[in-house]
Amino acid sequence: MNASMPVRHTQAESDLFERFETSKSALSGSVAVTALREAAVDQIRDRGLPHRRVEEYKYSDLRAFLKSAAPLSESADVAAAKAVLDAQDSYGELERYRIVVANGVYLPELSDTDALAGEGVTITGLNEALAGEHGAQLLSSPKSALNDGLITLNTAFVQGGVIVDAAEGVSLSKPVELVQVATSRGAQVTRNKVTVGKGAKLRLLETFAGDSGQGEINSVFDYTVADNAFLATTRLIIGGGDAARLFTTIATLGAEAEFKSLGFIAGPRFTRNQQFINFTGENSEAKIYGVTMAGGDDLADQTLIVDHAVPHCNSREFFKTVLDGRSKGVYQGRINVAQHAQKTDGEMMTQALLLSEEAEMANKPELEIFADDVICAHGATSGQIDEDLLFYLRARGIPEAEAKTLLVLAFLSEAIEEYDEDDVTEGLESRVRDWLAGH
């Protein structure tokens, strides 16, 4: 007879249960949504937070990192949100439309709602939809992401977010920035649903402004890219602080669809950026890029699962990491190819540059292939700055610090430039230089 041992809850887990009891009456949702929230809390109670004995979290133990869990952030007012936006603008003079979510609540007053409507894009607050008949469907997950710890945590405490719907055939003249603002100390838990209609094209910039203090940021982005549609997303995860930054992408691609994403990490103490890419229509393509910079005692985790469930689809994954101090980088990537997904073409590469002897990189690329007519490959490298190249630059009068900056910038820029979104290239490379200046 086997008896399972009860989970001894940490202080953070106990705080989460108290958070739920004190905030559940204020969290929106239908009866079905409330049931999903309660089931998610029960799952946390049974399993605890994601920890190193869970294979997917072996290198990024959230349970060990979180010593406590702050209450959910309070509602934000428009004036406070505007003050944060004015003080922290991620893209400066770049022309774009803006959608603002503050402390989990959509603020149409600060968003370009009318201009986007004129372009064929509608925006709805998630809270309103969660209370509706089909609210529970907004909290669903694909097979590849079922029972994931971060999504479970998000389901339990999601405060709100937005639903963005780009109509069939729409092609926006400017990118759309979805900026999530923290105006008070506390946890920020959001979920955003973006649908790109048949034949439509959308470029999305995901940014975060303000400081949540000791509360984690847990945000899920659920994308549906319809047949012949295009979506490019740029996610900036920047800034300091000791709170965990937890981000999840769920992308579902139709037939002949194209999806591109770049996850850019620089600064947070503990970051996990995980992506679940699901091909559901033939002749589609996904290009996933990552740029990570970590120093001090930071941990930065880029995790990716690409699920090829249909034939004739291509995926490319290219990740670059630079580590300094005692930091730790994590790359976990897996390409799944179903038995009937013939003619799949998938390639995965992760490369790390270690600037100190104490930095550590954990690479775990995987292929799980059940079809026989496929082209799939993966690779991983870790190393230090090439001393010959460094000598070459110094021999031409370039100071050592500047020479190292040039070499690291060239290393990271390869992924940024291959992402090939001109609107953001210069800004991202400027952020790389700023980070290097501090290290």
Q: Which H or E run includes 433?
A: helix 422-437
What angle is formed at CA 179 by the lines to CA 173 and CA 182, rounded to 5 degrees? 165
Residue 425 CB neighbours (<10 A): 14
| Six-digit token string for 128 | 């309103």
- What's the confidence (pLDDT) of residue 5? 61
| Six-digit token string for 44 | 């946390």
Give mean pLDDT, residues 168-173: 95
Distances (CA, A) of 328 to 71, 189, 268, 356, 361: 28, 25, 12, 11, 6
pLDDT-based confidence at 334, cuts 50/70/90?
A: very high
Q: Taking the complete model, does pTM exceed 0.85, yes or no?
A: yes
- What's the confidence (pLDDT) of residue 213? 64
pLDDT per residue as tens digits for the range 96-129: 999 999 998 999 999 999 999 999 999 999 998 9
Is the confidence at residue 168, as pLDDT, over 90?
yes
Q: Which of 361, 301, 369, 373 is nearest to 334 (CA)?
A: 369
Q: Which H or E run includes 163?
A: strand 162-166
Residue 416 near residue 425, CB atoms below 8 Å: yes
DSSP secondary structure of 178-247: EEEEE-SSSBEEEEEEEEE-TT-EEEEEEEEEE--TTS-EEEEEEEEE-TT-EEEEEEEEE---SSEEEE
Q: Give 339: exposed, middle or buried? Use CB within 10 Å, 0-12, 13-18, 19+.
A: exposed
DSSP 425: H
Is the confidence at residue 14, as pLDDT, over 70?
yes
The label of the residue with tokens 């190819």 reads 337
Beta strands at 345-354 and 328-337: parallel, antiparallel or unpaired? unpaired
DSSP 398: -
Cα–Cα distance for residue pair 260/204, rounded to 1 Å: 10
Q: Which of 301, 280, 300, 302 is nearest to 289 (CA)?
A: 302
Q: What is the mean pLDDT of the chain?
A: 93
Q: Which of 187, 184, 234, 165 is nearest to 206 (CA)?
A: 234
DSSP 165: E
Torsion on CA atoms 161, 429, 300, 324, rounded to nearest 10:
-150
Q: Give 416: exposed, middle or buried? Use CB within 10 Å, 0-12, 13-18, 19+.
A: buried
Cα–Cα distance for residue pair 268/90, rounded to 1 Å: 16
Which residue type sits at 413?
S
Cα–Cα distance for residue pair 132/231, rounded to 1 Å: 27
- What's the confidence (pLDDT) of residue 313? 98
Residue 365 near residue 348, CB atoms below 8 Å: yes
pLDDT per residue as tens digits for the range 375-426: 999 999 999 998 999 888 999 899 988 999 999 999 999 999 999 999 899 9
Give mean pLDDT, residues 44-62: 95
Higher-pLDDT residue of 167, 438:
167
Is the confidence at residue 1, as pLDDT, over 60?
no
What is the side-by-side order of every strand in the sheet holding 299-308? 121-125, 162-166, 188-196, 217-225, 244-253, 270-279, 299-308, 328-337, 360-369
Give mean pLDDT, residues 65-91: 91
Half-sphere exposure of 424 (CA within 13 A, CB side): 28
pLDDT-based confidence at 198, cuts 50/70/90?
A: very high
Phi and psi angles of residue 438, each rounded to the nearest 5 degrees, phi first: -90, 0
pLDDT per residue as tens digits for the range 422-434: 989 999 999 999 8
- What's the confidence (pLDDT) of residue 407? 95
User: Hey, is 108 helix, strand or coil?
Assistant: helix
Give mean pLDDT, residues 323-352: 97
Q: List the single range of 29-33, 213-217, 365-369 with lowest mean pLDDT.
A: 213-217
Is the confidence at residue 77, as pLDDT, over 70?
yes
pLDDT per residue as tens digits for the range 124-159: 999 989 999 889 999 988 887 888 999 999 999 999
